[in-house]
Structure 1
Amino acid sequence: MREQGKIFAGFAVFVLGMAIWYGIWSKDPTGTTCLFLAFALGSFIAFYLLFTAKRVDTGAGDNPQAEVSDDAGVQGFFSPHSWQPLALGLGGTLAFLGVIFGWWLMMFAMPVILMGLFGWTFEYYRGENQTQ
């Protein structure tokens, strides 16, 4: 995690320099604001990764002598047969189309998004996938 934190910190410093240079050169408040927000986002991620790296074990990515096989194994649990991301994707598509074509589409998007979120959250609390 430490290496990823350093990468994001470098990204944040680079974007800060570009934001200052762009703001002085272009006098465009919108683009300058977006670049400063990108700097803030990179800084938040760098801080989180560097802060968390102090509290967890060193991974294979932080060891220069590590082999690829050192990072093998279970990386987490990912549901192999969930349909809920499809519902969230459709709801998100409807929501963005609502921003483009009319806010009335949000009436159709929000129930789809809420059903997808609810289904994904409680997927393993009911039915055949219920855990004991």
Structure 2
Amino acid sequence: MKEQGKIFLGFAVFILAMAITYGVWTNHSEHGVEAAGTTALFLAFGLCAMVGYYLAYTAKRVDTGAGDNPEAEVADDAGELGFFAPHSWQPLSLAIGGALAFMGVIFGWWLLYWSIPIILIGLFGWVFEFYRGEDQNQ
């Protein structure tokens, strides 16, 4: 994680330099100030800085992974990465609800009356998908 944090922080510094350059360059053009691109670059800087800080901060508290060892082999990173559901219908429910919600912006806000319950059903179903009672995982 330490290397990924350094990569993101380095990328954030590069984007900050490009945002400043872009802002100064477009400010002196004959067409006036172009604020959308400058704002997008500064927001991209903020996002990269947040991810880089999180990865660098977390790297101090977890074991060193194979990605941080320059002499590691690909097989050193093998093993269980976590538990992933073999199948789930909840993302489909969230996608349908999200599509209806975005269509509500286009066709009318009344469509949110149907999309919000579908989104909530999908969200709660996904969060509690493997919960089947008190102390189930013990």
TM (normalized to structure 1)? 0.90
The aligned counterpart of 2:106 is: 100
Q: Rg larger in 1 or in 2? A: 2
The aligned counterpart of 1:115 is: 121
8 A contact 1:15–1:39 mirrored in 2: yes
Identity within the alignment, % = 68
The aligned counterpart of 1:74 is: 80
- Which residue identity is paired with 2:119? I
The aligned counterpart of 2:13 is: 13
- The correspondence of residues 16-55 of structure 1 with structure 2, limited to 5 A, is 16-26=16-26, 27-55=33-61
User: CA shift at 1:55, angstroms?
Assistant: 0.9
Gaps of 5+ in 1: none
The aligned counterpart of 1:62 is: 68
2:130 to 117, 124, 130: 124
8 A contact 1:124–1:131 mirrored in 2: no
Post-superposition CA distance 1:20-61 (Å, at most 9, x none)? 111112221122111111111110110000011011110001
Between structures 1 and 2, the one with greater helix share: 1
* Equivalent residue pairs, number: 130
RMSD, matched Cα: 1.6
- Which residue identity is paired with 2:71? Q
Gaps of 5+ in 2: 27-32
